[in-house]
Structure formats: C-alpha cells, structure tokens
Amino acid sequence: MVLFYTLMTFGVVLFVILVFYVVTSQYIDNVFDVNLTDKVYLTAQAHFKKDEVDEKAYEIIKKDNSELLPRAHEIVINRNDTAALHDSISIYLDAAGRRELFSGEPVLFEKDGQRGVVLSYHDNLGDFVVAVTAKNGYGYKIQQHILYLSLILLFVSITVILILGRIYSNRILYPLKHILENLKNIRGNNMNVRLEETGNKDELDTLVHNLNDMLDRICEAFRSEKSFVSAASHELSNPLTAIQGECEITLMKERDGKLYVDSLQRIYSESQRMSQLIRHLLFLSRHDDDLSDLDSLNVNLSTFLSDLSQSTERVIFTDETEYSVLVKANPYLLQVAIQNFLNNATKYSQKQIDLRLKLIDGHPAIEIEDYGIGIPKDEIPLIFQSFYRASNTRDFSGNGIGMALSSKVLNIYHAKVTIESEVNKFTKFVISFV
C-alpha cells in the first residue's frame, strides 16, 4: 500500500517538475529572444544613426549595444548586394522566413545550437539587412541547474515520503492489526470478546464502536437462536414422546376396538399439536422481507373483525367508528395475528371477550380485552418472546409461540401493541395501526 501511494506521488511530482521545467525553459528562451531583438535594433542604430543623432546620444547607443549580449555575432548586408544577401541569409532562413523578413518584421531563427534574429532595416544610406546570432549559454546553464535541482528534490522528496509513509502506515495499521487479532479470537463458544477503543476519538474509534455494537447484536441473536432451538427441541419432543409412549402401551397387548380408537385419537391429537407447532416454527423462521412480499390488500377492519368474532366463542365485537376503516395488509397474516390474541383471551378467561374497533388520534386501533387471569406486571415485556409463557399459565396448555408470531406479523405492518393488565382481573391489548 505504501509503495503504491509512493509511486502515485512520484508520478504526480515528476509530472509537475516536467511542466515546471518546460515552462521555465520556454521563458528563458523567450527572454533571450527579446534580448536578441533589442540587440539587432541597437546594432542597426550603431551602424546607421551616427549621422542622424548628436554625439552624446550616439555614445549611449554604442554603449548599450556593446553591453547587451557582448558575445553576439553581428552581420550587416546591403540589400543591393544580392549575391552576398542570398548567400548569408539563406544559411539562416528558408523561403517563408525570407518573405517574412522583407515584410519589415524581425525574424527569429535557430541554427547549430545558436539563436538569432534578422532585421530588414531602412536608412537614408539605403536598405540593409542586419543579423545577430548568439549562443544562450547562460540560459542553458540555468536550465541545466533547474533540471538537476528538480531531479534531486524529486528523489529526496520521494525518499522522505517513502520513509514517513512507512512509519505512519505502521502507526495507522497497528490498531487495525490489533482489531483483526481480537476478531480472530471470537468463536461461537466465546462471544464475549470486545475491542478496545484507542481513545483518540477518530475514525478508528468509530470503527471499533460500530464493531462492538455489531458484536453485541450478533451475540444477542446467537443467544436467542440457541434459546429458540433449545425451546423448539423441547416442545417438539413432548408430542413425539407422547406418541411413542401411546404406541408402546397400545402394542403391549391386544385390546378391543374402542381402546384402539381412543389410542389413535390421542395420537392424532398429539400429531396435530406437533404439526401446528412445526407450522408456527417455520413461520417464525421466515424473514420479515419474505412476509412483507406477500400480496397486501385494503382490509375493511369492521367486516374483518366481525367475521373473526363470529368464529370465536364468547367474543363480542363493537364497532365504535362512524365509517369504514381500511388497512393495507395480507388478510391471512392479519387473521393469524389477531386470532392468536383472541385464542389466548378465550383460553385464559371464562367470561365475555370484548373486541372493539375505534380510532385513536385518527388512526385505526383494535382493542381485545378479557377478564381472566391477567399477566404479572413484571412479565408483560416478555410475553412476545418465543416460547415464553407467563408464570400463572402453567395449568393451561400452550407452547408460547402464538404471541411471538402475532408480534412478528404486526411489526411488518408497523402496528404498535400496548398492554394493560392486572392479575386475576383483566388484560387489554391495544393494536394501533400508524
């Protein structure tokens, strides 16, 4: 990783250095070309302005000419000398350059490592061509020094980046390595391992905090699964044991027809109980997304609850709404959920069961109230757990799955369940659809 980012940095820095070197070299050449252009004008003035300016001004021109590019080579040719002009100028300029020259503009050229400029100059003495050539030795040395210095800085900076990157990456990766080592120690029989935060309040601390939260959720799910499997095994073993025992007793000796019928009736009852338990277990094992994918319809709660009340004994339905109340749900799933509440109410109470439909804060709500054994207050938060049964229900048949199943269905439709209960007086469930 460090090597990869070092190579990336090397490429970026190298690109920047190359751009800097090219731009600097062009600037140096442009400055030298400007000096050459000034030199060619000063050369022309030094040759032809002596009779046109006073002596003091001419001395200044000569001084400027001698000080500017003192090693430059100067050529002055009379344009009337066609042969000399052609022989000299053709060395430096091609046909296009010669046409540009005779248009009156100075023409820059480069020849054999030297740069130069040619100027067509008009004077009262006639028309002349002035050429100045020089080698940009000082500029080339500057370019060379810039190149060497840039390469040195490049390799020094890359070396420093590589060293610092190695040190810093080790410092960053050490906590990650520590985290990985701790994660390797987590096993199914050792789910209590938690990662220690560095205390720096940085991204690693956030990562460790989120991992610990995830481990807490996994640990809780793991414990719930073990509890679920243990309880499911126990609940399934009971009817199997009963069936097996009934078969063994029946086969011990010959019996009359009525005893065989009674035995088969008990076997049928236990097998039916086991079948229902298996269906409930399979239902609980399904993911919420799978259940929510089932077709949902607009269910008229008044008609829906009225039908349920007629199919369950001692249930009195009361509709306290003034118009039809609709909820979007799968009718079968909703029936399973509400029917479990009604079954429990009729099981734990011998009196009338009140089933009410009303509106609470503008939202539909279903109230199911029975007047039976009630639920101990400290056990109310636990009744939706799989296989949990309240302490005062030991004398009643059941396996503790119905309420967990109803809760799972109602959660899919974002229904909220609140419970009010007093032991040996009443229990009221309020299912609110929001």
| CATH number, residue 374 | 3.30.565.10
Is residue 126, in this structure, part of any structural domain at all?
yes
- Rounded CA gap, 360 and 355, in Å? 15
Is residue 169, in this structure, part of any structural domain at all?
no
Determine the pLDDT at residue 17.
87
Q: Mean pLDDT, consecutive 10-residue segments, the chain of 434 residues? A: 75 87 90 89 83 79 81 84 78 81 83 86 83 87 89 86 79 75 73 73 80 82 68 69 84 82 84 74 62 77 92 90 89 87 91 94 94 93 85 83 85 91 94 91
Specify whether 233 is located in the same domain as 367. Answer: no
Residues counted in the chain: 434
Question: What would you measure as the largest C-alpha separation in the chain, in angstroms?
Answer: 156
Helix, strand, coil in percent for the chain, rounding step 5? 60, 20, 25
Domain of 227, CATH number, reads 1.10.287.130
Determine the pLDDT at residue 178.
77
Is residue 151, in this structure, part of any structural domain at all?
no
Specify whether 255 is located in the same domain as 330. Answer: no
- Rounded CA gap, 107 and 92, in Å? 10
Amino acid at 99: R
Q: Which residues pair with 420 in a beta bridge?
A: 428
Domain of 112, CATH number, reads 3.30.450
Specify whether 252 is located in the same domain as 339. Answer: no
Determine the pLDDT at residue 2.
63
Q: At what angle do helices 2-48 and 137-184 cross, to 10 degrees?
A: 170
Determine the pLDDT at residue 289.
55
Query: How many domains, in total, are found in the chain?
Result: 3
Is residue 99, in this structure, part of any structural domain at all?
yes
Q: At what angle do helices 331-348 and 301-311 cross, to 10 degrees?
A: 40
Is the CB of residue 428 less than 8 Å from the CB of residue 369?
Answer: yes
- Rounded CA gap, 348 and 343, in Å? 9
Q: Structure pTM?
A: 0.48
Is residue 179, in this structure, part of any structural domain at all?
no
Specify whether 261 is located in the same domain as 303. Answer: no
Domain that holds residue 265: 203-285
Specify whether 229 is located in the same domain as 118. Answer: no
Specify whether 245 is located in the same domain as 225. Answer: yes
Is residue 153, in this structure, part of any structural domain at all?
no
Specify whether 96 is located in the same domain as 226. Answer: no
Specify whether 106 is located in the same domain as 20. Answer: yes
> Which parts of 49-136 fold into alpha helices (H)?
55-67, 82-92, 95-101
Is the CB of residue 424 less than 8 Å from the CB of residue 370?
Answer: no
Question: Residue 192: which of 226, 216, 217, 222 has the closest Cα?
Answer: 216
Specify whether 295 is located in the same domain as 265. Answer: no
Specify whether 14 is located in the same domain as 131. Answer: yes
Determine the pLDDT at residue 417.
94
Is residue 184, in this structure, part of any structural domain at all?
no
Specify whether 270 is located in the same domain as 324. Answer: no
Specify whether 336 is located in the same domain as 292. Answer: yes
